[in-house]
Structure 1
Amino acid sequence: MRAIVLHGVKDLKFHSDYPEPQLQSPTDVKIKVDYCGICGSDLHEYLDGPIFFKNKRNEISNKENIQCMGHEMCGEIVELGAKANPEYKIGQKVVVAPTGTCLDRPRFPDAPNANKQPCNACSEGSYNACDYIGFTGLGFEDGGFGDYCVVGDNHIVPYPSSVIPVDVAALIEPLAVAWHAVRVAKLKEGESALVLGAGPIGLVMILALKAHKAGNIVVSEPAAGRRQLAESFGVQTFDPTNYKSTDQAVTALKKLTNDGFGFHHSFDCSGIPISFEVSLKALRTTGVATNVAIWPEKPVDYFPMEITLHERTINGSMCHTREDFVNVVKAFEAKLVDIDQVRTLITGIVPVEEGIEKGFNELINHKEKHIKILVSPRHAN
């Protein structure tokens, strides 16, 4: 099949004859891919890895680390294993929850670690924080930048294509990331929220917050184009470059809240030291800072009394669970998420043959022009 395959750091190749994945477990499902979005994680793996490809073979699947990439995918079921969930049917439109965890070990009975006990996270139901986490298309098994993909039936989430357009369905995965962050933060209706960064995750965070009926939402973003897009979603924006110091910026941000005391919640979608600092300092007493960004392995300055004096809380939010995908689909059905606003995030659709040059390289070299580029074996602009 056609596929975009990572061979190593800065070594991404298009294959016209990559092996087509086949059902291996009786609970497997084979999907014909419609669209698959290029994620920041894909770019980081390509440019700065290995991150999810550190070992020659995956701890759980035992798959080699030369893989077809892509995890933000939607497609159509074309084959079902003998013991796959009977609710799933050939021709059904689905999205994929791509996390590979200890719960997937039964799919790979021949792997050396097949009988290994689940890690702490998986044994307690928090499998999205698995000690050995990988993703379909990111270290775990072949992903969605190809004609076909095979996953376990517990990773499938059907969606109604009569409600959610097929191209928009590819953004259910990043929306699930934001949905999970709001859930982890325990945001209540009407509470204020500060979003730090208006990249792809920051923008879908706005949509998730609106769907949860957050109150005053402010987005801090230095790039004018991304502030403009955030404003089109009906939120207030803030340019941090107008201020000489972090404290000045924090003071100005607090003035944007209804009572001037600060935000109930902050969501760091940038992952840089200054956004971490602002995410704490801009909170009101008992506010909650939730880190959504994936950070490099570097420390930041942290002053514990910023938390203690005001009884603030720092949360981490790790990717998503299948429940988040289900709830995002329900939110579309209930018209809590605006399809047209989601579609504005799609800034390009390219055929799989051109996915490296017009997808990856375009995002790397012209980041300011794009939010989300979709790769498709079946559709293109």
Structure 2
Amino acid sequence: MKAVVCSEGVLEVADVPAPEPGAGQAVIDVRRCGICGSDLHARVHCDELAELAVATGYDGFMRSDQRVVLGHEFCGEIVDYGRGCRKRWRPGTRVVALPILRGGRQPQLTGLSEAAPGGYAEQVLVQESMTFPIPNGLSDELAALTEPMAVAWHAVRASRIGRKQTAFVIGCGPIGLAVISMLKAAGVHTVVASENSPRRRELAARCGADAVVDPAVEQPWTAGPRGSRIDGVTDILNLGFDAMEKLRRIPNLPWWYLFRMTHTLGLDPAGPVVFECVGVPGMIEQIVTAAPPRARVIVVGVCMQTDHFRPAMAINKELDLRSVFGYDPGEFRDTLHMIAEGRVDPTPLITGTVGLDGVADAFTELASPEQHAKILIDPTA
């Protein structure tokens, strides 16, 4: 079959062996596959990523001297099954799947491992247990966005954001746009997006951002609603003074129980939730320095270089830093149905479609934020 092979940073269309499904696996004809920012990173930084993966317990990540078929955001049609499958769906059924395979007890990341060729190809292997039929006649284009939208949905869920809290999305590349869409799907009232690129600011507004700012002109923190916003450490200290002055007016009140209850129920004064979706050195330090006290910072962007920030700044502000990666099968399934039911519309993310022979040029074009957000591959084009 035809596939796009990456080796030593070079992308080329080549003839490769058609996949043979192993135990519990199915083979599908790829109908669409998205080009992910992770693919752009892996093309040039795969050896660094591989060393990082080894340090975290996974030794199957692609290396630059290997011949790897990228692509982990795909949808397709069932073709055939391997042994031990329940054969849940007839051939021709359109499906999406988590991009992960397992032979025995050894998992492999589809599209990011030589042992699990990805969706930049006419066919790809999926694990039957990790596969889901596409509901409601959802288009191939939108179905293929299940995977990146699931990454965003996981980030939103991990943030534990309340509907009345303000969300700040820093960086409006594909993952930032997906986070904006999922925040609005979750019912968050106010989403402020910050992005240098005029094109991506336009896409952020289309994805539902309530305010979009150019950080060269205005800081995002000033664009959110004021209300009872905590702007500085002084505000937190004054909250303590105000509370104690009121509570001490009530004779014999065990006021300390109220503090304990407030903490147990999660009713402490809270700042906004900040989603870092840029992934370049210096961004975490910028956010830690500028974000309001008691903010929760969700690190979604993948920074490939060593970075530095001042822990004392985060400590003084009582910032909560959380890092997120991937999703679980339930979040993946729920994302698919949210898209199919119209609860979230990722259409603004799609800015182009190419065939296999257009992938190399697409990688070049994706380097410019003014041209594209998400380019899909149609292997039949």
In the TM superposition, what are the counterparts of 1:41-190 in structure 2 within 5 Å?
41-52=38-49, 59=59, 65-99=66-100, 104-106=102-104, 135-139=109-113, 140-160=115-135, 162=137, 164-190=138-164
Q: 2:251 — aligned with what?
A: none
**Contact 1:38–1:373, Cα closer than 8 Å, also in 2:** yes
Q: Matched residue of 2:357: which SS?
A: helix
Q: 1:125 — aligned with what?
A: none
Could you tell me how far apart the structure 1 residues matched to 2:340 and 2:220 are? 38
**Contact 1:61–1:105, Cα closer than 8 Å, also in 2:** no
Q: Matched residue of 1:31: which SS?
A: strand
Give the drift of 1:29.
0.9
Larger CA deviation: 35-44 vs 285-294 = 285-294
Inter-CA distance 83–195: structure 2 relative to 1 (3 Å threshold): same
- 1:377 corresponds to which letter in structure 2? P
Inter-CA distance 239–153: structure 2 relative to 1 (3 Å threshold): same
In the TM superposition, what are the counterparts of 1:252-291 in structure 2 within 5 Å?
252-253=222-223, 256-261=225-230, 263-281=271-289, 283-291=291-299
Give the drift of 1:234.
3.1
Give the drift of 1:311.
3.0
Could you tell me how far apart the structure 2 residues matched to 1:84 and 1:65 are? 30
Alignment partner of 2:191 out of 204, 210, 217: 217
Could you tell me how far apart the structure 1 residues matched to 2:375 and 2:131 are? 23
**Contact 2:282–2:309, Cα closer than 8 Å, also in 1:** no
Q: List gaps (5 residues or longer) in structure 2.
A: 232-270
- 1:2 corresponds to which letter in structure 2? K
Q: Matched residue of 2:354: which SS?
A: strand
Could you tell me how far apart the structure 2 residues matched to 1:71 and 1:150 are? 11
Q: Deviations over 1:258-315 (max 9, x none)?
A: 44436521110002344313433554443211000111131212233x3333432110
Give the drift of 1:335.
2.6
Q: 1:362 — aligned with what?
A: 365
Give the drift of 1:53.
5.2
Q: 2:332 — aligned with what?
A: 325
Is structure 2 residue 13 aligned with structure 1 residue 11? no
Q: Matched residue of 1:3: which SS?
A: strand
Could you tell me how far apart the structure 2 residues matched to 1:241 and 1:62 are? 38
Q: 1:117 — aligned with what?
A: none
State how many pairs are aligned. 335
User: What do you get for the CA RMSD once the two structures are aligned?
Assistant: 2.7
Q: Matched residue of 1:335: which SS?
A: coil
Q: 1:312 — aligned with what?
A: 319
**Contact 1:80–1:90, Cα closer than 8 Å, also in 2:** no
Could you tell me how far apart the structure 2 residues matched to 1:158 and 1:279 are? 40
Give the drift of 1:51.
4.3
The alignment's TM-score, normalised by the length of structure 1, stands at 0.80
Q: List gaps (5 residues or longer) in structure 1.
A: 108-113, 115-132, 244-248
Inter-CA distance 362–272: structure 2 relative to 1 (3 Å threshold): closer
Q: Deviations over 1:82-135 (max 9, x none)?
A: 3224433322211121146xxx3516xxxxxx5xxxxxxxxxxxxxxxxxx852
Could you tell me how far apart the structure 2 residues matched to 1:190 and 1:91 are? 44
Q: Matched residue of 2:273: which SS?
A: strand
Inter-CA distance 134–227: structure 2 relative to 1 (3 Å threshold): farther
Q: Which has the larger radius of gyration?
A: 2
Is structure 2 residue 355 aligned with structure 1 residue 351? yes
**Contact 2:280–2:304, Cα closer than 8 Å, also in 1:** no
Inter-CA distance 282–91: structure 2 relative to 1 (3 Å threshold): farther
Could you tell me how far apart the structure 2 residues matched to 1:46 and 1:223 are? 24
